[in-house]
A = this chain, B = another copy of it.
Amino acid sequence: MSILFSLALALAQTSPAPAAPAVHAEPSDAIAADWKAIPADELLVMRLADGGSVVIRLAPQYAPRHVANIRALAQTHWWDGTSVYRVQDGYVTQWGDVSEKKPLPHGVADDLPPEYEWRATPLAATLSRGDPYARVAGFSADGWPLASDGTAQWLPHCYAMVGVARDLAPSTGSGAELYTVIGHAPRHLDRNIALVGRVIDGMEYLSSLPRGRGEMGFYTDAQHPTGIVSVRLASDMPAGERPAYQYRATDNARFAAYISAKENRQPPFFTVPADGADICNVPAPVRKTPGK
């Protein structure tokens, strides 16, 4: 059974750590029309040798060149037989070819422009406050968290966001080596690394792996990396196996109310509402398409 981390997190945030498994139903704050299909060519499905299956939503609109590489890597089955080779507690899980010697497919460039930030565009939904890393934070209409200093705009390094590992600047990474955030949001990485998507299902298969004992959480020779069986775009999978997901549209009053509820938690559990939230504590909901 696989639980969508975003929904579980949303639930968690209305029901924090009680001693008993009390039931607090999540308010039905979205209507059917708020749920929109994620295109199948924006879904990356990674199957792990331990049986886990991870689904990543890609963000081609924000990192087009890096996502183009990632699609080409998936379509040439480049990741099949590679591994999850780094798990650093409270920080990141990283995967790809640990040897860094596997040749990239023809047409996959390794000297891409730094798709780290872009000119600020209007947000569909905005939080009440910024934070130490952004003057303004909120969401695109299609559910991506965004941060801005008023001029530039970027994706924030929230839990489960997926980024492109790289060497020292000016390298931007090819997209062959990817990581996801498994701890507190390392927001200082914002604007310094290309974020290309977010894990929307199966996050626990990356976050609960044994931690690497080597420097920076790399596995040592005595440890066993988790094998990657395959990575495919959903659009390249047979119709019968293809997963389908929906994002929640943010450009409506119901989502504004959802943000407000996250910023001001209510009794009976909460007695002191925060009157604000950071962008990573307002997860944009995603769900499996009902009936699929």
Residues of A within 8 A of B (CB): 1, 3, 5, 8-9, 11-13, 15-23, 87-92, 94, 96, 100, 114, 116-117, 127-133, 158-160, 163, 165-170, 173, 177, 179, 182-193, 203-204, 207-211, 213-218, 262-263, 265, 267-274, 276-278, 280-281
Contact = CB atoms under 8 A, between A and B. Distances in A.
Interface of A is mostly: loop
A214 B184 contact: no
Given A100-B20, A132-B128, A277 B188 contact: yes
Contacts of A100: 19-20
24 contacts: A5-B90, A9-B90, A9-B91, A12-B186, A12-B216, A17-B94, A18-B166, A18-B167, A19-B96, A19-B100, A19-B166, A20-B100, A21-B215, A89-B203, A89-B204, A89-B208, A158-B184, A159-B184, A169-B270, A170-B271, A184-B185, A187-B277, A191-B271, A191-B272
A218 B185 CA distance: 24
B203 A21 contact: no
Contacts of A192: 16, 265, 269-272
B116 A272 contact: yes
Contacts of A179: 17
Contacts of A213: 1, 3
B208 A17 contact: no
- 7 closest residue pairs by CB, A with B: A132-B276, A191-B272, A204-B211, A19-B177, A168-B268, A12-B91, A19-B165
Nearest to A222: B1
Given A163-B17, A183-B184, A213-B3, A278 B133 contact: yes
A109 B41 CA distance: 57
B169 A267 contact: yes
A88 B12 contact: yes
Contacts of A94: 17
Contact of A278 (B132, B158, B165): B132
A19 B117 CA distance: 21
A8 B88 contact: yes
Contacts of A263: 132
B89 A207 contact: yes
Given A9-B90, A187-B281, A204-B210, 17 more contacts: A9-B89, A17-B94, A21-B215, A21-B216, A21-B218, A22-B168, A23-B215, A128-B132, A130-B132, A132-B274, A133-B274, A133-B278, A182-B183, A185-B281, A188-B273, A192-B270, A208-B210
